[in-house]
Structure 1
Amino acid sequence: MTTLTDRPHTALLVIDVQNGVVDGSPRRDEVVANINRLLDKARREQVPVVWVQHASEELTPGSPAWEYVPELVRAEGEPLVHKRHGDSFEATPLEEILAGLGVGRVVVTGAQTDACVRSTLHGAFVRGYDTTLVGDAHTTEDLTAYGAPPPESVIAHTNLYWSFQTAPGRTAGTVPTEQVSFEQPPAM
């Protein structure tokens, strides 16, 4: 029940599953396999897939670290959004792409859980999108050396708190890959 009028469609967002982002992340292979399952489902159901690719000093465009993991292949015609901030909407054409596709709900996957995934979830939600986090299709690196909780705890906490997000006229939630539906939830 998005607050965005005349936008009945759902899109799958694949955020920053780049070599330099997910290398060494917990459950990397499982997360990538789940994203591939979602890609297959979205393409079968003719649901738009939008890819997001981060660039920074560590992720220099064109470098191996910047490239998407080889197991995930973008199909011809699927939009690719380049970004430099955590929120995939910030200073990018993502909003225009989704508006052009009539999208009012996003299903979010990718990395890193506690950075770009979380920022994009909040960015979408405050912009009026219904947002679904796929709980077993995102991961993050180990930042315990900097005082962060272990990655497994970051993932579990994000899954938990996103399942309780509320706002007028919007829905949010966390589901496992096997329960993802690309249909809009019924109006409440």
Structure 2
Amino acid sequence: MTTLQNRPHTALLVIDVQIGVVAGAHRRDAVLSNINTLVARARSEGVPVVWVQHSDAELEVGSDPWQLVPELERSSGEPLVRKTYGDSFEDTDLEDVLAASGVGRLVVSGAQTDACIRSTIHGAFARGYDVTLVGDAHTTEDLSEWGAPTPDKVIGHTNMYWQYQSAPGRSATVDDTADVSFAPAGAVPA
């Protein structure tokens, strides 16, 4: 259903699952386990896995907090997109990476729900991608002392509103890890 021409494939996007990003994340271990499950399934089905890694003043390139978490292993042939903005497409080569593989649908996991996840799913949708947010494979830290809702509410709200996004020729869905299909939106299972 994507509005992108000749882009029938799906990719798994793993966003900012870095030591410093998820150190205090809500349900960290369960989310990492779900992401590991998604990565293994994507690889076994020949679906591209694209890793995204953020850097800024608190996540300096090469520092320990900047590193991907040791619980997840990126294979050497899998693309790594480095970014400095919330939207993984902004000022990166993500679009080129996805276009080269004919990807028009993204399955999104990672961190942080209320920042880079939301920015990226909206950015992808606005660019014409079908976007499935994996409801139990994204997380955020507790920012409630600064007035934000608790992480469970941030995650729940994001899952709730994303399933109701709509735009011509595109789909926005939320699935739990066990229910994720890597088939293109609208594809009939074999």
Matched AA of 1:25: A
Which residue number in structure 1 is paired with residue 41 of structure 2? 41
Cα distance in 2 between the residues matched to 1:105 and 1:32: 22
Matched AA of 1:17: V
State the Cα deviation string for residues 76-124 of structure 1 (Å, max 9, x = none). Answer: 2100000000000000000010001100000000000000000000000
Which residue number in structure 1 is paired with residue 12 of structure 2? 12
The normalised TM-score by structure 1 is 0.98
Cα RMSD after superposing both structures = 0.7
The within-5 A match list for 1:18-57 is 18-57=18-57
Which residue number in structure 1 is paired with residue 2 of structure 2? 2
Secondary structure of 1:171's aligned partner: strand
Matched AA of 1:181: S
Secondary structure of 2:123's aligned partner: helix
Structure 1 segments unaligned to the other structure (5+ residues): none
State the Cα deviation string for residues 61-88 of structure 1 (Å, max 9, x = none). Answer: 1111000110000012100000000000
| Conserved 8 A contact 2:105-2:185 | no
Which residue number in structure 1 is paired with residue 173 of structure 2? 173
Cα distance in 2 between the residues matched to 1:10 and 1:185: 9
Cα distance in 1 between the residues matched to 2:20 and 2:76: 24
* Runs of 4+ in structure 1 over 6 Å off: none
Identical-pair percentage: 66
Secondary structure of 2:138's aligned partner: strand
The within-5 A match list for 1:145-184 is 145-184=145-184
Q: Please tell me whether residue 186 in structure 1 is matched to residue 186 in structure 2.
A: yes
Cα distance in 2 between the residues matched to 1:186 and 1:37: 23
The normalised TM-score by structure 2 is 0.97
Q: How many residues align?
A: 187
Cα distance in 2 between the residues matched to 1:35 and 1:168: 30
